[in-house]
Amino acid sequence: MASRYAQEGGQLLQQGQPMEAVKSFQKGLSIDPKDVDCLMGLVRTHLSTGAAKDAEGAVTRLLQVQPDNAEAQAHLAMLKAQAGDPVALVTLKALAAAPTAGYFERFNLGTLLAERGDLEGAKAAFEAAQVVAPHSAYPHFELGRIAVQRKDTAAAVTHFQQAAALAPQEALPHLMLSRAHAASGAVGLAIAAATRALEHAQERTRVAVLQDLLRLYLQANSQDAARRTILELRELEPTQVRYIHLHGLACMLAGDLAQAKVLFNEALEHAPNQWDIRHSLAQAHEALGERPEARKQLEEAVAAAPHEPGPTNDLVRLLMGDKDHARARMLLERVLERNPQDALTHLNLARATQPFDRAEATRHARQAQTLGADAVVKDEAAQLLTELGG
């Protein structure tokens, strides 16, 4: 039976308090230096926090007490392999292949193979770990990560759902499930999973969940939720320029253009060379009918990022309004050199070329229609082709 300190330490580790867990295990070892349960708890805790040297020290002590402990041997083999020992991987494979191999022998092999890019071998090892620990969330979580790397979204969703069901109080399975749903285009399901992740997320994980939620809310046009989320992010990291910019975008989405301008200008004070912030400020000016200010900001954004489609296409719209088709063509051709598949740039180049070269305009309009994922771009390209007789 595990000692009292080993039990307390295990509970603390499960509660996400590794430093307190270490103290409890060390108390137990001060009473009995050969307490195998405290030594194993110490090993697992150090591994969970990435303290490789401390973990190796603890596992070495454990093997001195119990040399035939297969889990300890597997931990030591993994640590040595990660440190570059070529024999250690062979040792770990042998431990995992043994008929009596337990969870950690198999799971550690999967972890090491995944780190080395052997996804097929890692998948087999994690599936083997599932056999001996069917109620553990971790093999499902790792199998989900492998599915993500293979771009198998359906498998990723399945594994992260299982991991989240087995560890409902853990934030990361819910967060990864949200990302898998988002990758498959299921925005509503992604928001639901991220919301569950937020209920359990702490510190950096909480920031990551809030960032994901903000993107999802903006994508879903959930204006109030987006603003609430960005305000929480700004409370956590008030000087983060990206959050100031996102706050401005959320305000602009909600129609509060004056406040959006204030926030974009605040962000530019911290990052005057960041073209995307300047582009956002230009869009706010234009939405307010402040055309000269919009053009000024767009000129600076295009100068800073001459190959970015966004600011160039917005500037070109103003240039063509002023009948400056020649400059518009030059700017658009420069963007297409780096972004030959950008449908909107092809559409605007067709418009800019129309007064001078109908054949060239027709070619770009057809490109826009073929490449356009946006229905508006495809429809406008079709309309232009009709005008051009193409």
Backbone φ and ψ of 359, nearest 5°:
-65, -45
Confidence of residue 329 (pLDDT cuts 50, 70, 90): very high
Report pLDDT for 86.
86
User: How open is the CA angle 110-114-116, to the nearest 5 degrees?
Assistant: 120
Write out pLDDT tens, residues 238-248: 888 999 998 99
Q: Which amino acid appears at position 199 of this protein?
A: E
CB atoms within 10 A of CB 188: 10
For 1, which DSSP code?
-
Is the pLDDT at 2 greater than 60, yes or no? no
Is the pLDDT at 105 greater than 70, yes or no? yes
Report pLDDT for 15.
79
Sign of CA dihedral 66, 70, 75, 81: positive
Report pLDDT for 258.
95
Q: How far apart are CA 111 and CA 252, in angstroms?
A: 45
Write out pLDDT tens, residues 266-294: 999 999 999 999 999 999 999 999 999 99
Q: Judge contact between 4 and 32, C-beta under 8 A.
A: no
Is the pLDDT at 1 greater than 70, yes or no? no
